[in-house]
Structure 1
Amino acid sequence: MIGLQLFYLLSDFNILETKNPEKEQWLALQSEIDQEKLTDKNAKPTNYLFNPNFISDYKGYKLGMSIEEIDRLMAFRKENKYVNSAEEFQKVTGVSDSLLHKISPLFKFPDWKQNKSNDSADKKDFAVKSFPKKEKLEILDINQATKEDLMKIYGIGEGLSTRILSQKEILGSFVSMEQMKDIWGLSPEVINELNSHFKVVVPLNMKKINVNEASIKELAQFTYFKYGLAKQIVTYRSMNGNFNNIEDLIKIKDFPVEKAKIISLYLEF
């Protein structure tokens, strides 16, 4: 017993801690990260400029606006109107002078609105520079239009003009200006311009598809028919006889009814 007690008293039970380079490196890195977080916390938030015409409910709430003030702005915008200055913003929303003084430095209005107060001479120069008039066009047949003719339209460059001409080649010819809506990349505004300067004259010798004699392959090559629909047309024809008009074709499942009028101009029965 005495020997065990002496062993316990004289022995060193402390565990020697071995140095681990990887652990020390990790602790140093963690210390740097903690320091960065502390720096970010103390940093002031960055304020970005914004157009007050497009304030959302949440944005208005964060700015300190009341629900009534936000609703007044929303109602004003629903009338397709815009505020052009901080003073007009206050007049529409009814925000207090103190809140306006706080948030108005963050307002950013488009340049064309800021220039609204310029004199008439400046307005004239601005209009000429920003919206140059293109030469007046006579109404042409879209099926006879060249790339140069199409590129005279606002919003149509080389890419879109090539796409229009390619679609015409695929179809053989256009039969309606409504087909411009099927061409990818043409905005409603550009389509309106096309309708103002072009019309469709269907060629007398335009080749049509005989829907009662065409094979599945021939029908599937038609832009408005997919292979599945072409197969259904031939199956329906073999079981029920020839088609007499477009109304007979509409009875087939998955037929694009909304384009029936245009499709009928490419078919013969």
Structure 2
Amino acid sequence: MNFKSISPYFKFTNHQRKGIFSLFIIIIALQFFYFFSDFNQAEKNCPEKQEWLAFQSEIDSLKAIKYNEKPKVYLFNPNFISDYKGYKLGMSIQEIDRLFAYRKENKYVNSPEEFQKVTKISDSLLNVISPYFKFPNWAQNKKTFKTYTAKSFSKKENFTVLDINEASKEDFMKINGVGEGLSTRILNQKESLEAFVSMEQMSDVWGLSSEVIDELKKHFRVLSSPKIKKIPINDASLKELALFPYFRYALAKQIVTYRSMNGDIRNIEDLINIKGFPVEKANIIGLYLEF
């Protein structure tokens, strides 16, 4: 090989040699810096981020075991079963239609016996599905409620009935047993919900006795359809759901988990299947939600 032909490429001036030497020194310095430096930056602690990561981890773990578990049957109110729910329970189309016709008359079944009488299901099917029936507390104490009502309303009284959503603190204080404190609680409860949709919600106000609630029902009604900004149940965040008085954080978390694992919530029946949902208040809660 003729080295003379390539030797000119290796001849450098004094200035060039100094430049090459300086570049060599810089490369070595950068290698030492890279070798001895720790480029791992500690992430800033963010409580909200940690909480959401933990919550997402919990959802992922539930998804992982979902397909290995046997389907669970939760307690439900048979008044609100859908076509699909009835089919899954083993009911025929005719039996489901009988229940729907009964409900269209604004009637409710309050016991397994009534459910069988309306739907005409067999004894064997009733024995299988009735352990999962969950009726409101007032339905279980039906006899006591009727007797009390007869005594309370035996006398006819003449008074002006006011719209509960238009009443003032002074209007409430005219009722025996309602002072300034209880009147304020009623108004605060209405404000948290935007409006009352039923007089049955008086039982949700802390401190009201049954006698006072009966008096309130005599003097107040929901006389007009209140304007309520309904909660989009499938789009609302955990924080938004937790602010709703009937949900709070624990149930709101269950709803978000249910959405993540099963998709959109289609109706109140889906919500009833969620653990911890107040079934006895389903009719009222449904009026505040948008599906």
TM-score when normalising by structure 2? 0.44
Higher RCO (C-alpha 8 Å, min separation 6) = 2
TM-score when normalising by structure 1? 0.48
Larger radius of gyration: 1
